[in-house]
Amino acid sequence: MSLQTELTSPSRHPLAGQTMTGADMIIQVLAEQGVEVMFGYSGGAILPTWDALARFNIDQESKRRKPIELVVPANEQGAGFMAAGYARASGRVGVSMVTSGPGATNSVTPIRDCMADSVPIVLICGQVPRHAIGTDAFQEAHDHHDPVLSVLLSHVQSLLHPVHPVSPAQRVPHVGQLSQYVELKLRSFYRC
């Protein structure tokens, strides 16, 4: 079955029609995909997602369900390597959540290590507001004149552009289908 066929199937998600923030959607999708542990280091740009995780966990505990465990390391690089170690040891996808700017650049080494070793990991990274991009805002990593940052950005961009580009038919047509799309992509990790 093609990705597009699976995304347009008539099944209706139990939360369809409910108003949610993007941060709530991210946490909900991760929970639906069976994520039990996240490794992360907070910061301003990712705080809404941390808040969504807290709301989700409070809701889960009130229903006597297992919350998503959060492991907070000393730094973002540690979060990435912990997620990688978790993925290697458990056979599941590791999840790391960091803030923008230095949080993202500190995650380059563990992400590149996972890419080289084919370790399934998801990095969720905050970003400054759209209007602040390119303004040297707090925790923004966008200065192409800094030689060190330019090298890091080139590595990040190579990671963002997959070896097998996504065709227009494989793109998610509607945010309501995000959960199905993530599920299909996570399943593809295990087929490799």
Q: What is the DSSP string of the chain?
A: --HHHHHT-S---TTTT----HHHHHHHHHHHTT--EEEE---GGGHHHHHHHHHHHHHHHHTT-PPPEEE--SSHHHHHHHHHHHHHHHSS-EEEEE-STHHHHTTHHHHHHHHHHT--EEEEE----GGGTTTT-TT----TT-HHHHHHHHHHHHHHS-SSPPPGGGS-SSGGGHHHHHHHHHHHHHH-
Q: Is CATH 3.40.50.970 the classification given to domain 38-162?
A: yes
The pLDDT mean for the chain works out to 76
pTM recorded for the entire structure = 0.70
pLDDT > 50? residue 122: yes
pLDDT > 50? residue 162: no
Highest mean pLDDT among 90-99, 103-112, 162-171: 90-99
